Structure 1
Amino acid sequence: MSHNKIREDKTCLNCRHVVEQKFCPNCGQENSDSRKTFHHLFIHFFEDLTHYENAFWKTIKNLLFKPSTLTKEYLSGKRLSYLAPVRLYIFISFITFFLIAIFPSKVGEGIDKSEKALAKEIAKTKKEAHVESERKYFKLKTMKEIDSIQKYGKENDKLSDFQYWAYEKVVHVTEHNTQREIIEKFIESFFHNIPKILFIIMPFFAFFLWIFHSKKKWYYFDHGIFTLHYFSFLLLIFLILFIVNKIAGLFGSDNPLTYLADIITFVGTLWMCYYFYPAHHRFYGEPRIVSFVKSVTLFIINSFFILFLLTFYVFYIFINLH
């Protein structure tokens, strides 16, 4: 049962009908304050999982082609006209996760079966050569050499406990995987976990928005809703491009659909890069030059932050390869 504070204004924010009690008699929306605290964002998360509306296509259309429209409509009180932001992100994440799990993206997809069979035979007879080649590529010492340095070497050359543990993991990976296998496994794991990566990044993204805007005019909740819609857009674009390329790939590499898929990918990538500026400008209502400067600055800051997180993520994937 909802415990939201009822608005003193008796005009429904969704349909403008007069609300005499708690719920609008015309559309059924609760006449409560639509701007909540940070705590409410988590409560809203669980509430959204238990409802669904018939506004899916309207939501998708606005999300793709009308930057910030969903956020402005939601915060203005029109919450029944579109999918709620948390529900929208979860739905897109689920579909993305499901399709990637069914159709994994691998680097080796372009190699024909005969070449793969030949590679396996070579790997069986020349495993040591592969290992040595990989060691030269990564410029790694053997664990015997490292242990010798740890025991007899100079203090400056010795590794810390964490460095020794990490180095041991890296050596283990390179001994059991070729350079190609490492790349394939990493890319497969990366695409498989994109929804999780974005979900981890979102609260930090909203925090940077909160830093750059008025604390009196905007709550963290507002930035959180903007972030949910923006990341839902990014994930949806990624999903669309993924589906387009998979469909084109079903007909081989030399067909008209491949070129069409390349064009769609190029246009989608451009729109994905540009989208944040109009979304920011329309939502926060600042002058274009101010919005542009903030957009570029936030893009740079978040890019470095994402790069920082991905560095740890890459290391985590690398040391857990089998």
Structure 2
Amino acid sequence: MSGISEGLAELGQGTAAAMAVEPRHGAAQDGHTHETDCLNCGTHLVGSHCHACGQAAHVHRSLGAFFHDLLHGVFHFEGKIWRTLPLLAWRPGRLTREYIDGRRASYVSPIALFLFCIFLMFAVFHATEGHEEPSTHTGNAQGVEHSIKRIEGEIAALEARQKAAAAKGQTIAGVDAQLSAQREALNTLRDVEAEGVDLKVDPDRRVSDIPTLDKAIKKFRSNPDLASYKLQTYAYKYSWALIPISVPFLWLLFPFSRRFHLYDHTVFVTYSLCFMTLLAIVAMIGGALGAAEIAAFLIFVPPLHMYRQLRGAYGISRFSALWRGAMLLVFSGLALAMFFTMIMAQTSL
């Protein structure tokens, strides 16, 4: 229940943040406008909103209206979310190009949609993640037991080969030495199992040549639960950093272009990240429902989406979109690696 509660809280926060940055355009007449002058600035009203300060002509003053606004914000985004999502999913290039060209009133802005998607993703994550009781020795004991069974099987196979060769009056070179080494290893593992010795990785061993990353990995080893919590927290707070990290990589696909500018690339990247975030949400829900094959199928979706968005947003040929899409996949991996390194560095502080 705590995971679901946290998820709902994240969803509410995301809606509030997204609504704060998403401008309202052309709200429909609902028959509730009774004021003749704006309650905020006193300007005479013409229409459903004040043309001087932008405030709605009618101000709700009931608890029911307050929760209606909340649900409206979550599920409708002033109705624009339902016009934006289909294009984002199937015609992302058209959505990107229309927003860049200024046809924006019908769609949710990329940054508002990005904020909402990030909050929604963490809400779903908290609602679907498993909560297992921590255990110190269970994983180690299972690993030792598995190793014992494996070595016993190898010893049995070697003994069978040795007996078969002896029945034919033959000998197999090296079998005795192999049996001796395997039996010694088996005895050692049985001692470990009997005494309950906890096999641990050397905490002083270097894993990465990057000091901050190496320090973060050591913290993961010493306290996985705390490190995982910090990783989620920093990933949540710094998710916006994926945009400035990714834009230079996209610029490299159109270097020194006079047709396309950094603003175009930023809109492209932000809408693309929105779609990938929604894709991750679908995968998490599928995993929670026991449909793991959904996640396997979704692996093939990002390349197709990148290809379609490149073609539609930049108006390039199929061949050009194919090779740029392949490069964009590589760049996306590099951007994620940079983001992960940055987050890991934060957890080491």
Q: 282-291 vs 305-314, which deviates more?
A: 305-314
Q: How many Å apart are 1:65 and its aligned residue?
A: 2.1
2:118 matched residue in structure 1 = 93
Q: Does 1:134 align with 2:200?
A: yes
Which of 191, 210, 217 is the matching residue for 2:251? Answer: 210
2:326 matched residue in structure 1 = 296
Structure 2 CA distance for aligned equivalents of residues 89 and 185 of structure 1: 27
Q: How many Å apart are 1:245 and its aligned residue?
A: 2.0
Is the CA contact 1:105–1:191 (under 8 Å) kept in the aligned structure 2?
no
1:62 matched residue in structure 2 = 87
Instruction: Encode CA deviations 1:23-54: one digit per residue, 9 max, x unaligned.
Output: xx99x9x9xxxxxxxxxxxxxxxxxxxx9431
1:223 matched residue in structure 2 = 265
Structure 2 CA distance for aligned equivalents of residues 65 and 127 of structure 1: 59
**Paired residues, what number?**
227
- Structure 2: stretches of 5+ with no match in the other structure: 1-25, 27-45, 52-75, 142-193
Structure 2 CA distance for aligned equivalents of residues 222 and 168 of structure 1: 38
Is the CA contact 1:195–1:235 (under 8 Å) kept in the aligned structure 2?
no
Is the CA contact 2:93–2:310 (under 8 Å) kept in the aligned structure 1?
yes
Letter in 2 for 1:208: F
Structure 2 CA distance for aligned equivalents of residues 188 and 167 of structure 1: 18
Q: How many Å apart are 1:185 and its aligned residue?
A: 6.0
**Superposition map of 1:228-267 within 5 A:** 228-246=270-288, 248=289, 258=290, 261-267=291-297
Q: In angstroms, what is the RMSD of aligned CA positions? A: 4.4
Structure 2 CA distance for aligned equivalents of residues 169 and 86 of structure 1: 30
TM-score where L is the length of structure 1: 0.56
Are the structure 2 counterparts of residues 193 and 236 from structure 1 closer, same or farther at C-alpha, using a change threshold of 3 Å? Answer: farther
1:311 matched residue in structure 2 = 341
2:101 matched residue in structure 1 = 76
Are the structure 2 counterparts of residues 279 and 194 from structure 1 closer, same or farther at C-alpha, using a change threshold of 3 Å? Answer: farther
Q: How many Å apart are 1:219 and its aligned residue?
A: 1.9
2:78 alignment partner, SS class: coil
- Of structures 1 and 2, the larger Rg is shown by 2
Q: How many Å apart are 1:62 and its aligned residue?
A: 1.5
Are the structure 2 counterparts of residues 310 and 81 from structure 1 closer, same or farther at C-alpha, using a change threshold of 3 Å? Answer: same
Structure 2 CA distance for aligned equivalents of residues 236 and 311 of structure 1: 23
2:309 matched residue in structure 1 = 279
1:53 alignment partner, SS class: helix
2:283 alignment partner, SS class: helix
Q: How many Å apart are 1:298 and its aligned residue?
A: 2.9
Are the structure 2 counterparts of residues 262 and 212 from structure 1 closer, same or farther at C-alpha, using a change threshold of 3 Å? Answer: same
Letter in 2 for 1:97: F
Are the structure 2 counterparts of residues 313 and 240 from structure 1 closer, same or farther at C-alpha, using a change threshold of 3 Å? Answer: same
